[in-house]
Chain A
């Protein structure tokens, strides 16, 4: 399994050499989109990994809540933290693009607002885990399910409501010369996400071992 982790790291490293070259030197700058459109190549893959992370956290939550699986709790915790980290990136890179494209950093547009809600739900998951007391894990798992339910809403929001955010067809209608850069970035961020999830899961496993040892120690001392 460790070999798989090193393979993920190696592929990510290679990707980070290729991706900037494709984004900045191969993908054309179209007159109507401008140079600021380069943010799209990082913003969309980061958003995709944020959604993936929210789903994985909820899947872990289901395994923990309904089957009592310990790995479910560990996956839920690790993926929730990554959802928040990636949420910060989505909510900062998006407005950096918007300032140039819309003339303002933020608009209470339905897409932006639903992403902000998703981010805040996962912040609540982390807060619940940290300060929720004995029932913290179950509360956090329930909240993660609630958060994952927001993901489809985020995705279809641009189809259901009038919005100034680019539609989901922005990806399918990409200029053919932009597609290699975009899909390499998408694969790269997915690999990077899996590597980050791996190291974060190791931390959860170590914490779980520490909890078991603490219980053993307490029993011995009694």
Chain B
């Protein structure tokens, strides 16, 4: 499950790029239409999305490192206990 989520996150930029390429393969001339495409997008929404995403991804990264660190430290404690037992 965790690996699938990670794979999805890593694939996101590639999927985004390839889906847009498929939608517009030729790059043909498009006559200018006032009020088309660029006007339909909410700039504040995109800015908030970008800012939130930066925070979410970085917090997710910190949480992931913290979780992995705890797991490795637990493994180290267990191995030290086993080593002490073998010494006795």
Residues of A within 8 A of B46 (CB): 36, 39, 96-97, 99-100
Q: Is A178 an interface residue (CB 8 A)?
A: no
Q: Which stretch of A65-73, A141-149, A200-208 is in the interface?
A: A200-208
Q: Which stretch of A82-90, A132-140, A166-174 is in the interface?
A: A82-90
Q: Is A192 an interface residue (CB 8 A)?
A: yes
Which residues between 194 and 222 of chain A lie within 8 Å of chain B, taking CB atoms? 196, 199-200, 202-203, 206-207, 209-210, 213-214, 216-217, 220-221
Contacts between the two chains (Cβ within 8 Å), count: 119
Q: A-contacting residues of B (Cβ < 8 Å)?
A: 9-10, 12-14, 16-17, 20-21, 24, 36-38, 41, 43-44, 46-47, 49-51, 53-54, 57-58, 61-62, 65-66, 68-69, 72-73, 75-76, 79-80, 82-83, 86
B79 touches A96 (CB 8 A): no
Q: Chain A at the B interface: mostly helix, strand, loop or mixed?
A: helix
Q: Nearest-CB distance from A201 to chain B (Å)?
A: 10
Residues of A within 8 A of B57 (CB): 85, 88-89
B65 touches A203 (CB 8 A): yes
- Contacts beyond the supplied A207-B72, A217-B79: 9 A-B pairs with Cβ under 8 Å: A89-B54, A89-B57, A91-B13, A92-B12, A102-B38, A103-B37, A202-B69, A210-B75, A213-B83
A100 touches B41 (CB 8 A): yes
